[in-house]
Structure 1
Amino acid sequence: MKKAKLFMDTVVDIQVVASGKSADRAEAQIDRAFAAFRQVEQACSRFSPDSELMMACRQFGTPVPVSPFLFEPLKFALEVAKWTDGVFDPTVGGLMEEHGFNRHYLTGQTILSPSAESVTYRDVIVNERDRTVLLRKPLVIDLGAVAKGFAIDLAASELREFDGFVVNAGGDLFAGGVDESGSDWEIGIRHPYHKDQIVQSVTVSNEAVCTSGSYERKSAKVPGTHHLLHPKTRRSPNVWISCSIIAPFAMMADAMATAAFLLVENRGKTFIEQTGTKGILITPALQIVTVGGI
C-alpha cells in the first residue's frame, strides 16, 4: 500500500509491505504516520507566524515552555552545533531570511523577523528538566536541517509492525525491514543535475538516507547563493554539490548531511567517520567520494 501527502514543502510518500495486515489497519497506521509530519510542521515551521517555533522566537530573555515536537529537534540541533564548533548552527534563520528564504510554500506569505546582528547557537539555552527554551538575543531559529528527519523518525515508529516500509519525504527517507520481494531496500541517490536520474544507489534496511544539495533551493536575492549557508562566512560553500548520509535515524542523517556539506572537504569526511555514519559526497564535476565503508 502506498499513499502521498504534502507536508513541510515536500511530497511525503509512505509505502508499506502489509502482508498479513488488513487494508484498513495499514491505512490507519499510514494516517498516524502522516499525523507526525503535521505535528512537527506545526511545531517547527519557520515560515508560519503561529508555529510554536516562531512564537518562541518572539520572546527573548525569558524561558518559554515548548512541546517535545519542538524541544527534541532543537536540542539535537544544538548538540550538532557543538560538535561542529558552530559551523552547523540553527540560529541561521535571520541570515536565511535576509537571503530570501522566507516564503511560505502554501500561502506565499513572506516573513522578516527581527534578529540581532551577531548570534550563535550559544544564544539558545534549553532546559531539559522544565523543557523550556530561552533566547539571549532576538534571533530566528531554523530547524530545516533536523525537523524533516525528526518527522520521518516519528512516522517510522508508527510503521514498525509491518514487514517493510519506506517513509520518503522528498528524497530524505527511512527504509524499514524488507521490500515486497523480501530483500533489503535499494535506494537511489538523485543526480544533482538531472532530477529524474540516479547517480548512485545503496542497499539499506532499518536505516535512513538523507541528502543535502546546493541544487535544491537557490536564492533569488543573492546570486550564487543556495539555502546551505555557512553561519561564519555568511556564504554558501560549493566544494560539494550533494552530500548524502546513511545513519540509524533520519534526524541524524538529515543533520549530518548538512553539517558535512558545510564543513567541506577533509573536515566533512572526518566528521562523517567520527560520527559512525556513512556518506556519499559528490563534487560539482560529479566526482563521487564515499566515506565510512560504503
Structure 2
Amino acid sequence: MNAEEWPVWSTTARLVVTEPSALPTARVLVESMLAEIDLACSRFRPDSELVAVGRSSGPVRVSPLLATLVEVALRAAEDSGGDVDPTVGSALCALGYDRDLSTIDVDGTAIQVTIKGWRSVKLTGNTLTIPKGVVLDLGATAKAFAADCCARLVADALDTGVLVSLGGDIATAGPAPARGWQVLVQDQPDDPSCVLKMPAGRAIATSSTRSRQWRRGDRVLHHILDPRTCLPAQRTWRSVTVVADHCTDANTLTTAALVRGDDAVPMLRERNVPARLVAADGSVRTLGGWP
C-alpha cells in the first residue's frame, strides 16, 4: 500500500490506497473534491458560496453541492435532537473562532450569544433561506461528508481500496487490505491508544474537546459548542470515537456525545454502535461490542 499526507483545513489529510499505481491520480481526485467543498461551505473564505448566501436576506438558489452539505447538516441536527446544530456559527464567531485557528486573536474577548436554532434554516430543493443574523457552521458534518465522498470517488474511479482520513474523520471504500484497515485510535499523544481492525466499507470518527482549542483572554475554549448554552461543552469526555457505515453518521454521534456529557452513554447504547469514550481523567469506556 502507498500513502500520502498533506495539510488541509487546519488538520491533516491522509490518503491510503491498496493499488500503489493509483495513488497519484487518487490524490488529484481527493484534492479537487476538497477544494470544491471548501469553496462551497467555508465560513472563513470571503469568496465561498456559503458566505455569499449569508449576506442575503431572502431565499437564494444555491449549487447542488452546497444544498447537499446543508441538507446533511440539518439531518444531523434532527437525528441528534439538536445537539449538532449548524447555526452555532455566530456563537463560535463571538467566542473568537471567526478565522483559521492559527490566526485567532488570543487577546480578544469571548462573548456569549444566543442562536435561533437549526429549525430556522429552510432548505427546499436547492433554495436556501438563512435568517438574518444566523451564521452557519457546517464544520461538524462537512469534513466527515468530505471523507465519505472522497473515499467513494477514488474507489469507483480507480478500482482500488482506499482510506481517506481528514483529522478524526476516516472513511473507507473498495476492498480492504488482507489484514483489514489498521486504524490507530488516539486523539492526543498523552491519551490512551488502541489499534482497531476495520473491515472494508466502514467508517470511524473521533470528536474531541482537546484537539481544536484556542485561548481568548484568560479562557481556553474548544470548538464543540452546546447549542443550549452557546458555550463549549463540558469536558466530561476528552474524546469519543464511533464506528458506523458512514463517516457523517459516526461524526454526528461523536459530536452529540460530547455535548451530552454523562448522557452520552445511554444515547450510544440506544444507537447500538461500537463506541470508545475517553473520560476527563483518561479512563476508557467502551460500548456496543467495541472493537
Structure-2-length-normalised TM-score: 0.86
Q: 2:151, 2:164 within 8 Å by CA — same for their partners in 1?
A: yes
Amino acid at match of 1:283: A
240, 247, 254: which is aligned to 1:250? Answer: 247
258, 262, 265: which is aligned to 2:262? Answer: 265
Secondary structure of the residue aligned to 2:89 is helix
Measured in 2, the distance between the counterparts of 1:66 and 1:109 equals 30
Measured in 2, the distance between the counterparts of 1:168 and 1:93 equals 24
Q: 1:119, 1:137 within 8 Å by CA — same for their partners in 2?
A: no
Measured in 2, the distance between the counterparts of 1:118 and 1:15 equals 40
**1:68 pairs with 2:64:** yes
Amino acid at match of 1:8: W
Amino acid at match of 2:247: A
Q: 1:46, 1:142 within 8 Å by CA — same for their partners in 2?
A: yes
Change in 2 beyond 3 A, CA 1:193/1:223: farther
Spell out structure 1 runs of 4+ moving beyond 4 A: none
Measured in 2, the distance between the counterparts of 1:210 and 1:252 equals 9
Secondary structure of the residue aligned to 2:145 is helix
Cα deviation digits, residues 70-92 of structure 1 (max 9, x gap): 22222122122223332221100
Cα deviation digits, residues 187-222 of structure 1 (max 9, x gap): 11115452xx76122211211111111111223116
Aligned position for 1:238:
235
Report the Cα offset of residue 3 of structure 1: 2.4
- For structure 1, the 5+ residue unaligned runs are 111-115
Aligned position for 1:11:
12
Q: 1:175, 1:204 within 8 Å by CA — same for their partners in 2?
A: no
Amino acid at match of 1:30: R
Measured in 1, the distance between the counterparts of 2:13 and 2:90 equals 27
Residue pairs, 1:116-265, within 5 angstroms: 117-128=114-125, 131-160=126-155, 161-176=158-173, 177-179=175-177, 182-192=178-188, 194=190, 199-205=193-199, 206-221=201-216, 223-235=219-231, 236-265=233-262
37, 41, 44: which is aligned to 1:40? Answer: 37
Amino acid at match of 1:213: S
Report the Cα offset of residue 51 of structure 1: 0.8
Aligned position for 2:108:
none
Structure-1-length-normalised TM-score: 0.86
Measured in 1, the distance between the counterparts of 2:87 and 2:203 equals 25
Change in 2 beyond 3 A, CA 1:135/1:163: closer
Secondary structure of the residue aligned to 1:133 is strand
Report the Cα offset of residue 158 of structure 1: 1.9
Aligned position for 1:97:
93
Cα deviation digits, residues 18-62 of structure 1 (max 9, x gap): 16xxx3x542233112211111111111111211111111113x2
Change in 2 beyond 3 A, CA 1:142/1:286: same
72, 75, 78: which is aligned to 1:79? Answer: 75
Measured in 2, the distance between the counterparts of 1:277 and 1:63 equals 38
Residue pairs, 1:45-60, within 5 angstroms: 45-60=42-57
Measured in 2, the distance between the counterparts of 1:193 and 1:238 equals 18
Q: 1:228, 1:237 within 8 Å by CA — same for their partners in 2?
A: no
Q: Which moves more between the two structures, 253-262 or 147-156?
A: 253-262
Structure showing the higher helix proportion among its residues:
2
Measured in 2, the distance between the counterparts of 1:139 and 1:171 equals 27
Cα deviation digits, residues 211-270 of structure 1 (max 9, x gap): 11111122311614311111112222111110111111112222221111112223x233
Aligned residues: 277
Q: 2:91, 2:115 within 8 Å by CA — same for their partners in 1?
A: no
